[in-house]
Amino acid sequence: MRSSSPPSPSRPDTLYKSTSLEDGPTTPYPEVDFKASRTDLSRHEPTSFPARAWRKVVSTDFVEGHGVAPLAESQRTDAKFIQNFTLWLTMNATIACFSTGTLGPVLYGLSLRDSSLIIALVNIFSCGIPSYVACFGPKLGARTMLVARYSYGYYGSMLPALLNLVSFIGFCAVNSIVAGQVLVAVNPGELSTTTGIVIVAVISMVISFFGYRVLHACERWAWIPICISFVLLAGFGGRHLGAATSFNVGASTKGGILSFISIIVGFTLSWSGCSADFNSYMRPDVSKTKVFILTFAGLYLPACLLQIQGAAFAAAALSGLVPTWEEAYNAGSVGGLVGVALEPLHGFGKFLLVLFALGMISNNAPTTYAFSLSIQIVFPFLTRVPRFFFAIVCTAIYLPIAVVGASEFEAALSNFLGLIGGWSSIFVAVLLAEHFIFRRFSFTSGYDLSIWDRSSKLPPGIAALFASFCGAALYIVGMDQVWFRGPIAKLITGPDEHYGGDVGFETGMAVAAIVYIPSRWLEKRLLGR
């Protein structure tokens, strides 16, 4: 997808074209060449074979070099809106989503009933917010962290973008660990977890290297075999799932319930930091309602169903009524549990395990893609570097982290999801308060994209940073993590409980929104932007 006019030689990313959308009056959109950020290789004809091969790779339309700069309307021509559903369905129909559900019974002793109710209800909230943020993609042609500049400012937006990078690294590491564990269950003793992690990481890197087109092409159909695999897992594991109702038939603790809520929120709400990244090439005339519904369905259905399935398998394994499941879980975590559940299928069961493991690529590849965009907000000078280079950087960072973290998976997953849920809630509180109150719900007249890289024209970001730090302070006093337990969490559970009661994301999100509104009003009055 190339712009109809050649970019200006003096400034290739700021040739403007006016357009009118359904949400507001005429607005300038920057006309950006899809390949404008690539290195100009036309000046020197390569002579060596590697140089010629590299030039061929970066010149093809299947390799997206365009980075975080806004996309012109002429570039936003993708009309396959159903991809808002299939992409998110494929990204979340993974064994990692299944693993998140297991934490209710495993870490907090919650019954299957209580775990299922929390999963079903909380995901409505935590999937709804990233679904709305996804609407920024087609309407503005802007990536999520670029939109953050219109509340956090040019320099202030580096903070949420940096936290976004940390989240992406953590997610990729956790996903790779789960995939490695599942691959080990295929041939125990013959394949190490480390080898499985490397396999998934390398394939994910290759897909994200190519970018938008290849990413959507892979995700469009990958959900079908994975979803069939989960149906077969439920069918052949169902003979023992009745035991799940015998686990913790007593009352669940309020501390455990609140902490599990924070984990469920962390899994899906964290997509808010990149949900507009995956549909920014779509046509801007698509209805916001359509984008929201398709994205929400793609997020909610796998998150709800697979997390409940994970909770049921974990509760059955911990009930004491299925010794083989309990032994397999203790020996091989989620991979071992899934492996023993599929044993009746023999060789076909091992094939399904391979599908589950490779299914993690559908989550890691888009996450790596989003990393390559957010890093250009943290380090603006990197906008001159082709986007695909950062897919390699991301993989090089999270790969050793995954190898090291594989030994303490449950604790690592719990702490990671709790932490990213906290920062994500603060970020969306500021982003949406700006959008709803100060930009009056408008995706067009509210955002002047001609100033996307001009710090003197964008908001100063003082109000956003002040609100974020206030929200972070309240998040800390309400959090419950291995390394720190806040006083509010202790107050909720009482002196006899040593864990639970995590209300960090609730307190952080509420305080950030409450503080931001008057602070932003004052900032606009004093500084005029």
Kindly report the number of other CB atoms within 10 A of residue 25's CB atom: 10
Phi and psi, residue 336, nearest 5°? -65, -40
- d(CA 299, CA 366) in angstroms, rounded, equals 14
337, 329 in Cβ contact below 8 A?
yes
**Which residue is it, tokens 């982290």?**
401
pLDDT of residue 86: 93
- d(CA 366, CA 417) in angstroms, rounded, equals 18
pLDDT tens digits, 254-280: 888 888 998 899 889 989 999 999 999
Query: How big is the chain, counted in residues?
Result: 529
Locate the DSSP E strands across 348-473. Answer: none
Q: Who wins on pLDDT, 64 or 93?
A: 93
Q: DSSP character for 282?
A: B
pLDDT tens digits, 410-447: 566 656 666 677 888 999 999 999 999 999 888 878 89
- The answer to whether residue 456 scores a pLDDT higher than 70 is yes
Cα distances (angstroms) measured from residue 528 to each of 221, 350, 522: 49, 63, 9
| Tokens at 30, concatenated | 């920057």
**Which residue is it, tokens 């499941």?**
325
Helical segments of 211-287, H only = 212-237, 254-269
pTM: 0.85
Centroid of chain to Cα 165: 10
pLDDT of residue 34: 39
pLDDT tens digits, 205-246: 988 888 888 888 888 888 888 899 899 988 888 888 888 887
Lowest mean pLDDT among 132-141, 412-421, 455-464: 412-421
pLDDT of residue 210: 83
Helical segments of 270-322, H only = 288-318
362, 91 in Cβ contact below 8 A?
yes
178, 360 in Cβ contact below 8 A?
yes
pLDDT of residue 33: 44
- d(CA 515, CA 494) in angstroms, rounded, equals 29
**Which residue is it, tokens 């999937």?**
127
Per DSSP bridges, beta strands 15-19 and 27-31 are antiparallel
| Tokens at 72, concatenated | 């012109």
